[in-house]
Amino acid sequence: MAGITGSAEVYRGFHMILLPQLVDDINTLLAIDKIKDYCPNGLQVEGAEKVSSIVTGVTASQALIEHAVAVKADAILVHHGYFWKNESPQIVGIKKQRIKRLLENNISLLAYHLPLDLHAELGNNVQLAKVLGWQPDALSAPDEMPPLIRTALLASACDGATLANHLAQCLQREPLHIPADREIKRVAWCTGAAQSSLLEAVELGVDAYITGEVSETTVHEARESGIHFFAAGHHATERYGVKALGEALSEKWGLQCHFIDCDNPV
């Protein structure tokens, strides 16, 4: 995998890698310096010096942390970490309990937000397309940073109910569907909470737009723009990037990587 370098050492039968090397190589792979984000990407909480076991998941919730503690993981790798823009900097309440558990168990927390959404191979947008059986339209340049919204031409045109059923079967979650009076040939999507990008999707000339969440205004924008809108779940659409990243790390270094899907209906 391009961007992942170095090798792991073997200690007591397990492959291990130094934490700084793990962090540096993921940072390089996901090109975090090229992307402006709402949170710090990379190492957020420092734990063990060496890493052999990683738990991956969508969000660094208490439930995910407790699972990592139970399996004696050295690190947690997530899409949604901590220290978001405009978030209170105080380490109190829920944040205190989460960070306390990480520190007392010497578990590192690595989080990658927009860089993991955008990556051309492992990103949430591309991985979601793979799950749905879609081929994203090619980028204009091979080394171009992928856009937030991706598009694809469906293998065969369908109506809104058919696409809604396809989403439900693939993601195991019934999507919210705001219907339109048109056949669906070309689709656009952006995982997570990208409902505010609906009008940008309209400008791309698509028949349907898929994201994770919905806002009150989204319904009116979809109806007045005349395209289908699907809110398929923030969590449901973003399970796949961090899972793919963990699998890539496991394949490269022989690390133990366990993806944990903590249930979230949103």
Tens digits of pLDDT across the chain (266 residues):
445 444 555 544 568 999 999 999 999 999 999 999 999 999 999 999 999 999 999 999 999 999 999 999 999 999 999 999 999 999 999 999 999 999 999 999 999 999 999 999 999 999 999 999 999 999 877 677 899 999 999 999 999 999 999 999 999 999 999 999 999 999 999 999 999 999 999 999 999 999 999 999 999 999 999 999 999 999 999 999 999 999 999 999 999 999 999 999 99
What pTM does this model have?
Answer: 0.94
Distances in Å between the Cα of 145 and the Cα atoms of 32, 35, 166 are 11, 9, 29
Instruction: Extract the runs of DSSP E, i.e. beta strands, from the chain.
Output: 9-11, 14-18, 42-45, 50-51, 53-59, 75-80, 108-111, 150-158, 176-178, 184-189, 208-211, 228-231, 256-259
End-to-end CA distance of the chain: 32
CATH code for 124-237?
3.40.1390.30
Q: What is the pLDDT of residue 10?
A: 53
Question: What is the H or E stretch that residue 233 is in?
Answer: none
Q: For residues 78 and 58, is the Cβ–Cβ distance under 8 A?
A: yes
Q: What is the pLDDT of residue 9?
A: 59
- Considering the chain, tell me which residue range(s) the CATH 3.40.1390.30 domain(s) occupy: 9-119+238-259, 124-237
Q: What is the pLDDT of residue 139?
A: 86
Q: For residues 168 and 208, is the Cβ–Cβ distance under 8 A?
A: no
Which positions ≥6 away from 88 have C-beta within 8 Å?
none
Dist CA 251 CA 108 (whole Å): 20
CATH code for 9-119+238-259?
3.40.1390.30
Q: What is the pLDDT of residue 141?
A: 74
